[in-house]
Structure 1
Amino acid sequence: MLSSRRAGGCTFPEDPSLSCATVRPVWSARIDPRVLVVRVDTPNAGGCLHPFDLCEFEARVLAGSTREFVRIDHAGMVIRLDVTNGTLLDGPVSLRFEIPEGRGLNRQIDALNRFRALRCRDCLRSPSRTRLANRLLALQAFDLRREGRSLRSISQAVFGECDWPGDGEHRKSRVRRLVASGEALVRTGPVSILT
C-alpha cells in the first residue's frame, strides 16, 4: 500500500500511477475471503450437469495478466469470482470451485451458497446457514435474558468459556446485539426467522 506525501494523504491498493485497467481489483480472493476462486472448463468436462452462462446476469469482467476478476450483481446480491483458469466469457462453461480450508472457510461457504442461489429462485428466499444459525443464537440469548441471566452468563452459555468482556468489550457488545436481535425476532414472529 502506498501513501501520498501531500497533505491529506491517500492510500491506494496498488501504485496510483498505473492505469485502473492494470491494477488488481479490490475483489481479489487474495484480499477478501468472500471472493470465490474458480476454474473454468468446457461444459462437457467432468460430466457437468449445469453449465453456467455469464450472459444471463449483469456482470463486470476484468481480465488480469494471470486471472479474470468477475463481479455479478443479481437480486440484491453481489458475487465476486477470481477465475484462475479459463474464462467465463466463452459462453456456457463448467465451473470448479477451490475452497481453501482455514479461517475464511465459513465466508467461502456463504459465498458459494450465494452463487448457488443465482440459479435457484427458492434458494434466494431461504436464509443462509450462517444467517439462520445467528438467528437461533439470538433467540437463545433472548430467552436466557428473559430468565434473568447476566450478559456474562449468556455469553458463557452461548459461546462457552471465554475472555470476558473481551478486547474493547467486543464479546459483551456481541451478546447485547444478540439479545436485541432475539427480541426483534420474537416481536416480528416466525416469518422473520425463516426468511
Structure 2
Amino acid sequence: MNDLIHWHNNTIGQRAAEALNRNNFSAKYFTDRQTAVEYILRLIPRKATVGMGGSSTVMELELWKLLEERGHELFNHNKEGLTAEERNKQRYKQLTCDVFLTGSNAITLTGKIVNRDAFGNRVAAMIFGPKKVIIVAGINKVVRDFKEADERIKMHAAPLNVKRYEMNNPCLTTGECIDCNSPARACNITTILSRRPPLTEIYVIILGESLGF
C-alpha cells in the first residue's frame, strides 16, 4: 500500500510542478524532506533577511531553526512573547525582506496558487515586495482546481488555523468554515496567483508527504 501511495503522490506532485513551471513559477517536486530542505537553504543567500509567513509546514520542517543557526535575521510574527504591536511590526517587515518563506493553502493541477488570509500580510508579501518568495507545500495541498481549493480551505485550512490561534469564530464549533461575519473572522482575503508576477522570483517546493494543513 505504501508503494501505491508513493506512486500516487509522485504522479500528482510532478503534474502540479510541471503546471506551475508552465505558468512561469520555478517549481520542483521532492520525494523526501531532507533533499527539499537542502534545496531551500541553497535558494536563500547567506546574509539575506527572511520573512516567515506563519506557515505550519515551514515550522514542521524546522526551517526557522536552521536559518537562525545560519545567522539570518528573521521577521517572524509568530515568535513567542511578542505583543500585538510587535507582531504587526514583524508583519510589515516581511513586506520588505530579502526572501519571504511561506506555505500555501492550495496548489492546483493547473498551476495556480490559492491562499486565504485574515490580515493579508502573507499574500501581500507573496505578490510584491520581497525579491524572492519561497513557497513550501505538502502533497496534501494539491487539488484539481479553484473549486477544490476553496473546499479544502473551508474544511481544513481555515478551521485548523482558527483553532491554532484560538480565535473566537463559529468554525471552532462547526469544524468547517460557514462564511461567518465574526469580528475575528480569519477568511478576509483570497488570492489566486495564476502566473508569476514579473518583478518577483517565486519558487514552489512540493513535497511528497502531508505537511501542515
TM-score interval w.r.t. the shorter chain? Answer: under 0.3
After TM superposition, the score normalised by the length of structure 2 is 0.20
Q: Which structure has the greater CA radius of gyration?
A: 1
Higher RCO (Cα < 8 Å, 6 or more apart)? 2
